[in-house]
Structures are given as C-alpha cells and as structure tokens.
C-alpha cells in the first residue's frame, strides 16, 4: 500500500520543479509575446479593421442597414439627414478626414466629395436629399452609397481584395481590376522569382567558398573565414550605399571597364537603380547566410569518404556528385531556406539601389505605411507575405524535412 505522505511529497516536488521551470522560461515567453505574438496579432487585426465609418458616421451606419440598395438607387431623406449630422459632428471633431480617406482607398476621388460636404454640412437645410444633390450631384452615384453601406461594418475584406488586385464593381460583385492597373500580384510573383534567383546565385558562389573553407588547413581556413564574416561587422546601410558607388554609371566598376577598353565611355552599363543592382547588392549581403550552413556540414564530412570513392574507381567528379554532394544537402537546404526567406522580406537594399524597377513587395508595404497611410492595405500585404512564407516552409518540411536541416 502506497504511503500517502510520500505520494504527497512527490507531487509537491514535481509541482515545484514545473513551477521553477516555468519561472525560468517566463522572461522568454514574455519577450516572445511582446515582440512576436502581439505584433503579428495586431497585423492580422489591422488588415480587417474598419473602424472609421462605423465610429465617425454612427447614425448613417445604422440607417444604411435598413436601406435596400436593390430597390432604391440612392437612400431616402432620413439617411441623407443622418449623413449630414454625422459629417457635421465629425468635421467639428476633425475626424471627417479619416472617413474621407477611408472611402478614397476604394473610390479614388471620394475624399474630395466627402470633405466638400463635411465643410458645408451645417449649412444645408431640409429637404436634405434634394439640397445635397443640388450641392454636389456626385452624391447621386449609387456606387458611392453602396460602398458606404458595405464599409459600415466594423470589419472588411476590402484590403485583401485590393492586395489581390480585386475590388467590388458597381453592382457589388467581386472582380479583378483592369490588367493595366494590377500592381500587387505581379509584385508578389516578382519578389518570389527574384528571391529564388538570389538563392541560386548564392548557392553557385557560396558552395565553392564553403568547400574551400572545409578543405583548407585550419590556419588558412580561419583567415578566409574572417573575410566571410567581415560583412557582419559592417552596417547594412554602409554596405548597400557602397554598391551605389561601385555600380553607378560613373562608378568604380564602369571606370575600370572603360580603363581596360572592355567598353567605351559612351556605352557605360547601367547597373544601379534597377533590378540588376538589387540582385547584386542582395546577393552580396545574403551570401554569408549560404556559406556558413554549408561550411558547418562540410566540416563534418570525413575526407576518407572521397578517398574511398576514388579508390573504388570513381573519377573525382563522379565521387563528388555521388558521395560528397549528397552529404552536403542538409547545409544546402538550411542555407537555401534562410537566404530565400530573408530575400522575400528585404526592404532597405531594394529601396536604395533598386529604383522604380527594382522594388519588391516589402517596398510597397513601406509606401502604404509611410506615404499613403493606408495601414490596412499594408497589413493585408504583410499578412499575405507571412502566409506565403509559412506555406513555403510547410512545403519544404513535407518535401525535405525540417529535421534534416543543419545550421
């Protein structure tokens, strides 16, 4: 028969161990919540948050719920009266601009329509509908009223539709924008392709360097490793701006090519403020992230494997491709995944050296945060980028396996 006192003491001891373990990881848990979970949650919420119209046009929002837009082209007198009351109050509280800007994200030019009416809302008298239409006939557009009704919900999918180059048409149906107006989906695909190209270039350049590091005597490999790690000791901004000096039309590289008569002075190559500059600069910055995982794996591969393959009659190339190279796949997979994910979200380098044609999706997110102030669309683009990375990570795990990675 078990001793109750002993069982109780064991349970208390286990509880103390669990409590102490939890207290040890509590700072890390709090750190992850503050800098990781909360920002991502805020990002997800901002991408569907639609507070402007319900908050600053409350009477209009409530009235529009009872408006049947299938039967009436524009709302009734009561809804026009509610709109004027809300706009007058919003203008007094200096909030009408937020409403106007929110609708303008969907209907270009609507900001002027709403601001114009908000400035004169107090002076317009009954009959409100007739006087508003006489004041500005654009309020007779059913599309404007359908947009106000649809966006009166506290949440919206409009930002995601815009991120997929889609929108609501005049009948309220979801449709793609004209091909000439599509921005974000081509930019997403461009970002993925550029990231894949940079990953491939980093592999082509990084594999021989990692192999040399692993094969050289320790004295020489340590010296070479310093050159590989040297970029980490230099500011990212300094490294990026240095490429501007090197790659510009009157820069160092073009001057050298002209000096050695490779090209003439009138045929200088444009390598900056385009996609060429973006790829060159990003490859230079991300190359160590490919070399280091490869080196960590190659260093553990015994030289005797290649010697054994050669002694069994295999040529050096055959022995390398059939024996050595497969053993480096864990490092190659880790380096490729690391470089690809970093390249997808890169921002500073394309912004400085990419110009208009070398921009990636991260630069468009920055534009909407700092210039257009369309934070909802920026959050939607960021969420799509996050989901794309998660899907790629999942596919990688299914095809290769995360457990096989070696960093």
Is the residue at 12 inside a domain?
yes
Last residue of one domain, picked from the residues 154, 172, 198:
154
Three-state secondary structure readout of the chain: CCCHHHHHHHHHHHHHHHHHHHHHHHHHHHHHHHHHHHHHHHHHHHCCECCHHHHHCHHHHHHHCCCCCCCCCCCCHHHHHHHHHHHHHHHHCCCHHHHHHHHHCCCCCHHHHHHHHHHHHHHCCCCHHHHHHHHCHHHHCHHHHHHHHHCCCCECCHHHHHHCCEEECCCCCEEECCHHHCCHHHHHHHHHHHHHHHHHHHHHHHHHHHHHHHHCCHHHHHHHHHHHHHHHHCCHHHHHHHHHHHHCCCCHHHHHHHHCCCCCHHHCCCCCCCHHHHHHHHHHHHHHHHHHHHHHHHCCCCHHHHHHHHHCCCCHHHHHHHHHHHHCHHHHHHHHHHHHHHHHCCCHHHHHHCCCCCCCHHHHHHHHHHCCCCHHHHHHHHHHHHHHHHHHHHHHHHHCCHHHCCC
| Per-residue model confidence as pLDDT tens digits over 291-347 | 999 999 999 888 888 888 888 888 888 888 888 898 898 888 889 989 999 999 888
The predicted pLDDT at position 164 comes to 94
Is the residue at 254 inside a domain?
yes
> Which residues, including other chains, have CB under 8 Å from residue 300's CB and lie 6 or more apart?
none
- pLDDT for 403 beyond 70: no
The domain of 29 spans 1-42
The CATH number given to whatever domain includes residue 355 is 1.10.3720.10
Is the residue at 160 inside a domain?
no
CA dist 190 and 224 (Å) reads 35
Structure tokens at 101: 């800007």
Last residue of one domain, picked from the residues 108, 133, 154:
154
Task: Of 272, 283, 271, 273, give the one whose Cα is nearest residue 346.
Answer: 283
- pLDDT for 33 beyond 70: yes
How does residue 3 score in pLDDT terms, banded at 50, 70 and 90? low
| Per-residue model confidence as pLDDT tens digits over 41-75 | 998 999 999 999 999 999 999 999 989 888 888 99
Do 21 and 79 belong together in one domain?
A: no
Do 110 and 256 belong together in one domain?
A: no
Is the residue at 168 inside a domain?
no
Do 28 and 65 belong together in one domain?
A: no
Alpha-carbon distances of 109 from 49, 115, 280, rounded to whole Å: 22, 11, 40
Task: Of 365, 339, 233, give the one whose Cα is nearest residue 279.
Answer: 339
Do 299 and 393 belong together in one domain?
A: yes
Do 32 and 80 belong together in one domain?
A: no
> Which residues, including other chains, have CB under 8 Å from residue 316's CB and lie 6 or more apart?
306, 310
Do 32 and 58 belong together in one domain?
A: no
| Per-residue model confidence as pLDDT tens digits over 184-242 | 999 999 999 999 999 999 999 999 999 999 988 888 888 888 888 888 888 888 888 88
Is the residue at 245 inside a domain?
yes
- pLDDT for 2 beyond 60: no
Do 400 and 382 belong together in one domain?
A: yes
CA dist 281 and 114 (Å) reads 45
Do 190 and 242 belong together in one domain?
A: yes
- pLDDT for 1 beyond 60: no
Is the residue at 179 inside a domain?
no
Do 278 and 207 belong together in one domain?
A: yes
Do 145 and 279 belong together in one domain?
A: no
CA dist 209 and 232 (Å) reads 17
Is the residue at 174 inside a domain?
no
The predicted pLDDT at position 235 comes to 84
Is the residue at 136 inside a domain?
yes
| Per-residue model confidence as pLDDT tens digits over 138-186 | 999 999 999 999 999 999 999 999 999 999 888 888 999 998 889 999 9
How does residue 4 score in pLDDT terms, banded at 50, 70 and 90? low
Do 140 and 189 belong together in one domain?
A: no
Q: Residue 122: exposed, middle, or buried by beta-carbon count in 10 A (0-12, 13-18, 19+)?
A: middle
Q: How many CB atoms lie within 10 A of CB 21?
A: 10
Last residue of one domain, picked from the residues 132, 154, 176:
154
- Average per-residue pLDDT for the chain: 89
CA dist 337 and 52 (Å) reads 40
The predicted pLDDT at position 294 comes to 93
6-23 average pLDDT score: 88
The predicted pLDDT at position 314 comes to 80
- Output 4 or 10, whichever has higher pLDDT: 10
Do 324 and 289 belong together in one domain?
A: yes
The domain tally of the chain equals 3
């Amino acid at each position: 028969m078990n001793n109750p006192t002993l069982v109780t003491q064991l349970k208390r001891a286990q509880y103390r161990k669990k409590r102490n373990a939890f207290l040890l990881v509590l700072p890390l848990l709090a750190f992850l919540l503050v800098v990781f979970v909360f920002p991502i949650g805020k990002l997800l919420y901002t991408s569907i948050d639609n507070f402007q119209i319900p908050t600053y046009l409350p009477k209009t929002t409530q009235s529009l719920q009872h408006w049947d837009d299938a039967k009436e082209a524009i709302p009734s007198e009561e809804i026009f009266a509610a709109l004027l009351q809300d706009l007058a109050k919003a203008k007094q509280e200096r909030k009408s601009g937020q409403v106007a800007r929110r609708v303008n994200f969907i209907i270009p030019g609507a900001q002027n329509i709403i601001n114009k009416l908000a400035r004169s809302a107090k002076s317009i008298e009954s009959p409100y509908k007739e006087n508003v239409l006489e004041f500005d006939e654009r309020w007779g557009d059913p599309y404007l009223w359908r947009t106000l009704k649809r966006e009166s919900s506290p949440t919206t999918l409009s930002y995601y539709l815009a991120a997929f180059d889609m929108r609501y048409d005049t009948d309220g149906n979801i449709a793609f924008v004209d091909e000439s107006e599509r921005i974000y989906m081509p930019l997403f695909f461009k970002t993925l392709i550029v990231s894949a190209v940079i990953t491939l270039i980093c592999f082509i350049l990084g594999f021989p360097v990692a192999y040399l590091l692993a094969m050289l005597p320790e004295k020489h490999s340590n010296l070479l490793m310093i050159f590989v790690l040297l970029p980490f000791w230099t500011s990212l901004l300094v490294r990026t701006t240095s490429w501007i000096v090197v790659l510009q039309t009157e820069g160092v590289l073009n001057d050298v090519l002209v000096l050695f008569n490779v090209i003439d002075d009138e045929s200088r190559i444009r390598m900056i403020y385009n996609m060429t500059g973006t790829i060159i600069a990003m490859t230079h910055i991300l190359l160590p992230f490919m070399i280091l995982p490869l080196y960590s794996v190659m260093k553990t591969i015994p030289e005797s494997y290649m010697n054994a393959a050669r002694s069994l009659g295999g040529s050096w190339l055959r022995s390398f491709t059939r024996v050595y190279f497969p053993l480096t796949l864990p490092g190659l997979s880790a380096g490729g995944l690391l470089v690809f994910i970093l390249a997808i979200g890169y921002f500073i380098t394309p912004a400085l050296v990419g110009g208009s044609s070398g921009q990636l999706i991260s630069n468009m997110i920055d534009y909407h945060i700092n210039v257009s102030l369309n934070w909802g669309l920026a959050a939607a683009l960021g969420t799509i980028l996050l989901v794309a990375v998660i899907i790629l990570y999942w596919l990688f795990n299914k095809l290769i396996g995360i457990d096989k990675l070696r960093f």
